[in-house]
């Protein structure tokens, strides 16, 4: 067992309960899993990043890794833009639209749907987040199984390959050290044994291969 900690950060409309299966698998991989909850709609990503920085400050561990799903990765973009988190380890993001989300832009243009995004669009989902800074070893896992709520919220807007909510191209950034695709949807990545194995490998070795 290692005494290193992995902090898991959820996406929009979530509560962190969805991350428990992944966190439990990472615990079997030897890590201590912690879960950071933030109000994804009521506070903008930069504010949630400051809350995350305070949360990380209180963790007593030699190294703290970060694993973020979807909007959680944009919160991490703000976290690193604001400064260096304490005891930084490796970073893995799952389906984070670092380039902005076409689904979010489509929703934002429609008043009846805009309220569903809350404050997540402020420096976030519209493509106006800070560019990803590759200060620490970071990897992205993107899904290619085209099944998800994004197809219903923004019909015909997603270009393949995509995970039903986020396109693979939206997850790319020159600041990432590695990018990997899996045949999972945006949500099913959180429950996949294969994805958990990839995350564990990256945290241990710094690569998905």
Query: What span, in angstroms and rounded, lies between the C-alpha atoms of 37 and 17?
Result: 9
The whole-number pLDDT of residue 119 equals 96
What token pair was written down for 87? 């005891």
The whole-number pLDDT of residue 179 equals 98
Check if the beta carbon of residue 151 is closer than 8 Å to that of residue 189.
Answer: no
pLDDT class of 87 with cuts at 50, 70, 90:
confident
H or E segment and range at residue 91:
strand 88-94
Query: What span, in angstroms and rounded, lies between the C-alpha atoms of 43 and 58?
Result: 21
Mean of the pLDDT values across residues 156-166? 96
What token pair was written down for 1? 């067992």
Instruction: Give pTM, 2 decimals.
Output: 0.96
Please determine, for residue 15, whether its predicted confidence score (pLDDT) is greater than 80: yes
The whole-number pLDDT of residue 2 equals 64
Mean of the pLDDT values across residues 61-79? 96
% of the chain at pLDDT higher than 70: 99
The whole-number pLDDT of residue 199 equals 98
Please determine, for residue 1, whether its predicted confidence score (pLDDT) is greater than 60: no
């Amino acid at each position: 067992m290692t005494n290193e900690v992995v902090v898991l950060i959820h996406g929009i409309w979530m509560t962190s309960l969805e991350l428990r299966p992944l966190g439990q698998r990472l615990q079997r991989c030897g890590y201590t899993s912690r879960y950071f909850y933030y109000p994804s709609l009521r506070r903008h990503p930069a504010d949630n990043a400051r809350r995350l920085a305070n949360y990380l400050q209180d963790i007593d561990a030699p190294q703290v890794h970060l694993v973020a799903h979807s909007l959680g990765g944009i919160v991490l973009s703000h976290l690193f833009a604001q400064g260096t988190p304490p005891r930084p380890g490796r970073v893995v993001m799952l389906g984070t639209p670092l380039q902005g989300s076409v689904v979010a832009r489509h929703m934002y243009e429609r008043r009846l749907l805009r309220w569903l995004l809350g404050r997540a669009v402020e420096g976030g989902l519209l493509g106006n987040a800070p560019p990803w800074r590759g200060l620490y070893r970071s990897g992205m896992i993107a899904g290619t199984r085209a099944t998800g709520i994004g197809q219903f919220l923004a019909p015909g807007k997603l270009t393949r390959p995509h995970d039903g909510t986020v396109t693979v191209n939206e997850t790319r950034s020159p600041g990432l050290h590695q990018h990997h695709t899996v045949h999972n949807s945006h949500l099913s990545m959180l429950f996949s044994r294969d994805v958990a194995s990839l995350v564990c490998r990256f945290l241990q070795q710094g690569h998905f291969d």
